[in-house]
Amino acid sequence: MRRNTAACLRVAVAFAALLPAACATLPTSGQIEQGSEQLDRYLRTLEREGFAGQALVARGDEVLLLASYGTMGLDDPRPVADNAVMPLASITKAFTASAVLTLAAEGKLALEDPIGLHLAELESPWADIPIHSLLTHTAGLPAEIRHRDHAEAPRFEPVDRSTFLERVQQFPPDHPPGAGFNYSNVGYSMLAAMVEIVAEQSWEPFLIGSVLSPAGVGDIGLLGPDWHERDLVRGRDGKRDLGHWLDRPRLADGMGYNARGAGDLLARPAGILAWWYALRRGIWLSSPWLERWLEPQVREPDGSRYGYGLHFRRSPWGMVAGHTGEESGFTADFSWYTDLDLMVYINSAHTEFPADELRQRLHRHIKAHD
């Protein structure tokens, strides 16, 4: 399938204002290959310290590294396989935003619509918040809504949609729409609820049937892929087993609405690779929605930018689009270096080895060969 370069060019133009005046020389293919090999060796050494997880590095159509490390759990000595399943946590937000833009492409909503136009249960002021503000974390929502009677992790409370929306309305906005940046899982769960109403379909079946499958992407989901428990890596914190997503209480059709759309998806590396190929080939969303999804929208407090479920940041190698995730011992990092046509995905099942820090090791190894 012919690659659509217009989407990548749009990212470059939109992100140009964030780049330094003079960029460092980009590494060669040989340097990237050597750096990937050294990253693999480094992660092998971390296995002896308890690291468990997966690493995927691809440049263009070539996979430079696809490897797994450690064991499936503290009490499960089986080695993590390359087709093992791990949570995406907040990388889920990129898929939620894509589902919203899919509905926009079908003319079923507009990003300028107030959310209350599609979620009739909401009242002002929340009903008046534009969808765009929810997508960009500028709606004034809190990061989480914790229920004092739920003793476990609040994200995994099996709260239904109506109860979730009722709780949202108990909190006043921190600021008017667009007047500040508050990273909010609540906002993305509201978007997943909206997708269900507009699509007249539960969240995950719509995501798989209308977003993932049309782009040729599989091996991503919660219940839809029908994961087998033996393939699910378990999170850990030191010597404490933190389980996996399907250990958690949930509703019949998926996670409760504290996590739905904000951090509920699981994946195999093959699914992430297929997704990235769909992005590179311009078949993830229809034009002009793909270009809009790949465009930075608002500035974050650290100077980077946030779009629709994606972070955009500068690096020594040019622009990077992606997202990180963290929950219950797992950390995940998806980074697309658009100037290099390079994708790095790392997922860690141990709190002591954050995925974004492990990804930075690749920078060091490549730099060592500069």
**Among 234, 229, 263, CA closest to 50:** 234
Query: What are the CB-based long-range contacts (under 8 Å, 24+) for 66-70?
Result: 66/269, 66/273, 67/40, 67/43, 69/43, 69/44, 70/349, 70/350
Which DSSP letter does residue 211 get?
I
Structural domain range at position 257: 5-368
Q: What is the pLDDT of residue 149?
A: 58
| CA 252 and chain centroid, separation | 23
d(CA 342, CA 43): 19
Query: How many distinct structural domains can be found in the chain?
Result: 1
Please give the helix or strand (H or E) that residue 14 lies within, else none.
helix 5-15
Phi, psi torsion values for 330, nearest 5 degrees? -95, 140
Q: What is the pLDDT of residue 366?
A: 85
For residue 127, report the phi and psi dihedrals to the nearest 5 degrees.
-65, -20
Provide the pLDDT for residue 45: 97
What is the phi/psi pair of residue 289, to 5°? -75, -30
Q: What is the pLDDT of residue 117?
A: 97
Q: What is the largest CA-CA distance in the chain?
A: 58
Q: Is 68 helix (H, G, I), strand (E, B) or coil?
A: strand
Where residue 261 sits, what CATH number does that domain have?
3.40.710.10
How confident is the prediction along the chain (370 residues), in pLDDT tens digits per residue? 334 445 554 544 444 444 443 455 889 999 999 999 999 999 999 999 999 999 999 999 999 999 999 999 999 999 999 999 999 999 999 999 999 999 999 999 999 999 999 999 999 999 999 999 999 999 998 777 766 555 566 778 999 999 999 999 988 888 899 999 999 999 999 999 999 999 999 999 999 999 999 999 999 999 999 999 999 999 999 999 999 999 999 999 999 999 999 999 999 999 999 999 999 999 999 999 999 999 999 999 989 999 999 999 999 889 999 999 999 999 999 999 999 999 999 999 999 999 999 999 998 888 775 5
Q: pLDDT tens-digit profile of 322-344?
A: 999 999 999 999 999 999 999 99
Strand pairing class (76-79; 86-87): unpaired
Supply the pLDDT for residue 146: 66
Residue for token pair 């599609």:
118
DSSP 8-state secondary structure symbol assigned to residue 207:
I
Contact 75, 282 (CB under 8 A): no
Full-model pTM: 0.93
